[in-house]
Amino acid sequence: MTRTTALFLIILSLSAGFPADASSTGHTADPLLLRAARGETVERTPVWMMRQAGRHMKAYRDLTSRYPTFRQRSETSEISKEISLQPFFAYGVDAVIMFSDILTPLPAMGIEFEISEGGKIIIEPIRSSEEFTARMKRIDVETACPFVGKVLGDLREEVGNRATIIGFIGLPFTLGSYVVEGQTGLANGFAQVRRLSRENPKLFHSILSLISDNITDYACYQIMSGAQVIQCFDSWAGHIDADDYSQFALPYQKKVISTIKKRHPDTPIIIYVAPGKFSTDGKRLAELAMTGADIISIDHTVDFATARNIVPDHVGIQGNLDPKVLRDGPLEKIRERTERIFAQADRDACGRPHIMNLGHGIEPDTPEANAAFFIKTVQEYQRPINAGK
């Protein structure tokens, strides 16, 4: 441990660790991140980290002996709530995202899955019209996933307006790829998806359309249960070329987001595509801006200044510290890279919303001291940010 790290841990141990309650400050406004995502002028830039709840925290790992499977932890509302709150109490992040997975609603659709501690996913795939008709179905999310509604409601009650509660969904292409592949498509270059999209595009569209309807209902259920912002993950849409993206990803991104917006027009929506062959260096940002999302979460392969020039002024940006920089440090480098993002964001004359985050999920071997330092660096950044559109 370096001297700087040790000193920081001492300072952290003496601090409160999380924001003061509204009742102690007299502040009764909506939480910071929610106001920023709506495009309101805010007193500072809000910050959280994708995958902040989970493997990198010792408190989470300590739970695994009592709740050995991921699904036990994510589908038991009181445990999901505890895990969701761990980074809030440890770091004082400005958002609490429920501990769950994009695959969580699949069993209610007729698609069971298993997920290992290492993230390996096993699904009995659907690759024929007969399998689709026999197995996939429209769901009643309130009946199918009551634990999701319970944890979101409990989180809102616990957190109040000290942080924004974020719900999330997987978008149709990414979920559809799991259904067709039976695993993460990265393992074989999405071979089964490519085959089905060429040999039976009608079936693939049927799968994506049904997922769209179910996922839209699922997102709206989260909002009605307590989620104040919805983050949409189309993680694997960066691994298909422009023609496939225009047929099998973008139309369904638009469909889901526009329907959520019709039902809940005041709920901000964030969209994220992980870096892939066809999305690195900002290559998909123009298309993502067409989805109707309020905020685009950019990955760490694109310079923030470049993203500002691609994304229209009315669309906010979330991101984008490299998670490997956060993991490896040192603290001085984390500060320098964070302040570089701020410097580029501050040049945005339109004053678009900015939410500080990582460019991908936090690495599981990230030191907690590094994560805490990043959050503190953002929250102590002095220049006020005008996030008004």
**Residues 35-49: tens digit of each pLDDT:** 999 999 999 999 999
CB 290 within 8 A of CB 309: no
Percent helix, strand, coil in the chain, to 5, is 50, 10, 40
* Residue 141 pLDDT: 84
Interval 341-368 mean pLDDT: 91
Residue written as tokens 């993230």? 119
| Model confidence at 28: pLDDT above 70 | no
pLDDT (tens digit, 9 = 90+) per residue, 89-114?
999 999 999 999 999 999 999 999 98
* Closest-CA residue to 117 (of 147, 174, 72): 72
> Confidence band (pLDDT; 50, 70, 90) for 21?
very low
| Dihedral sign for Cα atoms in the order 371, 372, 378, 382 | negative
Q: Mean pLDDT: which of 11-15, 139-143, 181-185 is highest?
A: 181-185
- What's the average model confidence in pLDDT over 110-121? 84
pLDDT at 383: 65
Whether residue 328 contacts residue 363, with contact meaning beta carbons closer than 8 Å, is answered with no
Q: Which of 5-14, 172-181, 238-247 has the lowest mean pLDDT?
A: 5-14
- What does the alpha-carbon distance between residue 346 and residue 334 come to, in Å, rounded to a whole number? 18
Q: What average pLDDT does this structure show over 227-250?
A: 97
Between 348 and 308, the more confident residue is: 308
> What is the model's pLDDT at position 26?
36
- CA-CA distance, 324 to 54, in Å (whole number)? 17
**Beta partners for residue 229, in sequence order:** 166
Q: Determine what percent of the chain is predicted with pLDDT higher than 90.
A: 84
Count Cβ atoms below 10 Å from residue 253 Cβ, excluding itself: 25
Strands (E), 143-268: 164-170, 229-233
Going from the N-terminus, what domains does the chain have, and what CATH number goes with each? Answer: 41-379 (3.20.20.210)
- Flag whether pLDDT at 280 surpasses 80: yes
pLDDT digits (tens, 9 = 90+) for 301-317: 999 999 999 999 999 99
